Amino acid sequence: MIQPQMPETKNWRFHRDVEQLGWLTIDTPGPVNTLSREAIAELELLVERFEQLARSNELAGIILLSGKDSGFIAGADISEFDAMSDFSVLPDALRRTHALLARIEQLTIPVVAGIHGFCLGGGLELALACHYRVAVNDDKTRIGFPEVGLGIFPGFGGTGRSIRQVGPVDAMQIMLTGKMLRAGAARGLNLVDKLVRHRDMLRWEARKAVLQKRRSSEAPFHKRAMAMGPLRGYVANKMREQARKKARQEHYPAPFALIDLFERHGDDWQAMIAGEVDAFVPLMGSSAATNLRRVFFASEGLKKQGTKGVRFARVHVIGAGVMGGDIAAWCALRGMSVTLQDLDMERIKPALDRAKKLFRKRLKKKHEVDAAVMRLEADATGKGVGRADVIIEAVVEKLEVKQAIFGGLEDQLKPGAILATNTSSIELERIAEKLKQPERLIGLHFFNPVAQLPLVEVIRSSFNTDAEIGKGAAFALAIGKSPVVVKSAPGFLVNRVLMPYMLGAVERVERGESPELLDAAAVAFGMPMGPIELMDTVGLDVGKSVATELGHAVPEGSRFDRLVKDGKLGRKTGEGFYKWVDGKAQKGETPAHADLAGLGRELVKPLVDMTEVVVAEGVVANEQLADIGVIMGTGFAPFLGGPLKARQDGRV
């Protein structure tokens, strides 16, 4: 078979087989496929050739596959976005890519995409320009538009094509939430046309699709009708309402710009694509998008920490309270075999019940839930210690108790096992000082609720070496958490910066200011929750003890002090600064305020000041780590890029 003359490409491979099928494989430099400017320019050359071959009947169809195990395509190349934000290059680049995808769609021969693993953003936009999509129906397939998380929306024609393909309501939902769909869900929405069980079946199914000239069908009329006539304005308003519940337009403009675009052109997919450019360009250069990209790369950077090649299979958690129980459940959810130790079964049972709820919520399929339940074992006698790769202590915050526990198990440990405490307030050196090998003890500080907060502070004591810390970070990554290494100093990073912010707000409440107003102001600034609601959520007893540990004694007779003494500890007891019903703070009217965000800035200032102190003291290695740590541990406004970036930009 004589191969046609093809352009030289670094990101694509092409060959034509005896059936005149063209096999196009994307394999870009790096661990995942991305659509860089170079990859797109090369695809332009290839498509030109495909057009010629199709005209001369030398090509029966094209099958687009990925040459990487990691997946299909993870989107446009985000590392080029800063340079691409330039108004002088971006509109042209977008129009050129629009034209390229339109040419693929207009090829007279069938073009079929075979998808495994990640198919995101620009990757999905390219797949949607193909005539038919086959995807592997396994756990790794993830299909979606994560762009809103980067402060933009799909810009390679994905807005219009997804609406055409799945209908306006579902398409907008996918784009507005950034949710990554599994194969079954994507098929259910008509985003893909056919599922196969294994990756090695993709080629065969895609080949059949080409030979049979299969073409995907568009969304049915009743779905498309939701974007027609006056209904579209109504639907757009509903979407705005939903979007406002999640984010403020002044902080995250992208979802709102997308809804505006839909309102203008949602009934005409081509007009929607054409309108993308003008709406997209200002977003790309916005400070929110720039900061969100910084956050993306900073969190990618966290994945590079940790000793490579260490395997963790068994975890032993001591203490089945809220933190210990939830840490054990999380580890079991993420595939570890876990033993959970406490004095007796009565104390362990509530943790097992909570774990089951978590498994049901996250895993859904019965056999997976059952397997996770099996992985989590109650262990009242501590028999799991000697087998564990990781031991995490999460008992009451009392030095003597912790010292006794670690002293008692040091001789039973497997060589190389991680020995960790989840203490949030006791200096590691003091817990470790009685150990024969004090260098073994590290801190793994999880945050409550464990299942929701991605951060784990890996605490380094003056005894530790890089070896223990590297392993600790590797373990955090192994259970899907993001590690930030922090020096053992009171409050570590997150509690240290949160306390002055929360106590500052509490003091204002003591002086008679409205908790509702303070909370609303912090949210208007960009915090996920106000400081008073946060104090109630954390628990006033916990807040008081961390405050005391950090040298901010709670004044006798203050409202805070009285609440603690009365057992009104916040959310968990049904009352703190607020009354709580069904896990919700019962707030009264928020008093009017002329500059809510300004007040929010004032409230957040102590947090930012303290982040500067923490970096200056070397508690975290650098500003970027402090920023990402505070974002992940407190939810601090990601669109501002973290407290220090916000200060640099004069935003606080």
* Site residues for ligand COA per CB under 6 A: 30-32, 34, 74-79, 118, 120-122, 146-147, 150, 300, 303
Q: Which is nearer to ligand COA, 63 or 74 (CB)?
A: 74
Distance of closest approach, residue 400 Cβ to ligand COA, in angstroms: 42
DSSP summary character for residue 3 = P
Is 445 marked active-site? yes
Q: Are 387 and 360 in contact (CB under 8 A)?
A: no
Distance of closest approach, residue 150 Cβ to ligand COA, in angstroms: 6
Q: Which is nearer to ligand COA, 163 or 289 (CB)?
A: 289
Distance of closest approach, residue 210 Cβ to ligand COA, in angstroms: 27
Decide: residue 128, CB within 10 A, 0-12 exposed, 13-18 middle, 19+ buried.
Answer: buried
* Dist. CA 295–CA 303, nearest whole Å: 13
Radius of gyration of the chain (CA): 27
Q: Which is nearer to ligand COA, 72 or 463 (CB)?
A: 72
Identify which of 126, 45, 33, 113 has the alpha carbon closest to the alpha carbon of residue 77: 33
* Dist. CA 57–CA 365, nearest whole Å: 48
Distance of closest approach, residue 147 Cβ to ligand COA, in angstroms: 5
H, E, C per residue of 564-590: HHCCCCEHHHCECCCEEECCEEECCCC
Distance of closest approach, residue 621 Cβ to ligand COA, in angstroms: 18
Angle of the 122-129 helix axis to the 90-106 helix axis, nearest 10 = 30
Cα–Cα distances (Å) from 101 to 48, 67, 131, 184, 283, in that order, read 12, 21, 11, 26, 22
Read off the tokens for 169.
């309501």
Q: Which is nearer to ligand COA, 84 or 458 (CB)?
A: 84
Distance of closest approach, residue 31 Cβ to ligand COA, in angstroms: 4
- Active-site pick, 98, 265, 316, 445: 445
Q: Are 4 and 49 in contact (CB under 8 A)?
A: yes
Identify which of 547, 439, 442, 456 has the alpha carbon closest to the alpha carbon of residue 493: 456
β partners of residue 317: 340, 392
* Dist. CA 508–CA 38, nearest whole Å: 56
* Dist. CA 473–CA 576, nearest whole Å: 36
Angle made by CA atoms 348, 352, 358, in degrees to the nearest 5: 145
Residue whose token pair is 């509690």 = 495
Q: Which is nearer to ligand COA, 118 or 132 (CB)?
A: 118
Q: Are 245 and 148 in contact (CB under 8 A)?
A: no
H or E element, residue 362? helix 345-363
Distance of closest approach, residue 155 Cβ to ligand COA, in angstroms: 8
Count the neighbouring beta carbons within 10 Å of the beta carbon of residue 99.
Answer: 12
Q: Which is nearer to ligand COA, 22 or 642 (CB)?
A: 642
Q: Which is nearer to ligand COA, 148 or 564 (CB)?
A: 148
Distance of closest approach, residue 291 Cβ to ligand COA, in angstroms: 15
Q: Phi, psi (5° rounding) for residue 180?
A: -95, 120
Q: Which is nearer to ligand COA, 79 or 573 (CB)?
A: 79
Distance of closest approach, residue 154 Cβ to ligand COA, in angstroms: 8
Distance of closest approach, residue 527 Cβ to ligand COA, in angstroms: 24
Q: Phi, psi (5° rounding) for residue 138?
A: -130, -175
Q: Which is nearer to ligand COA, 77 or 393 (CB)?
A: 77
Q: Which is nearer to ligand COA, 117 or 384 (CB)?
A: 117
Identify which of 328, 342, 402, 341 has the alpha carbon closest to the alpha carbon of residue 372: 328
Residue whose token pair is 């406002």 = 244
* Dist. CA 219–CA 469, nearest whole Å: 52
β partners of residue 204: none
CA atoms within 13 A of residue 167's CA, in its CB half-sphere: 15
What is residue 66's three-state secondary structure?
A: strand
Active site residues: 445
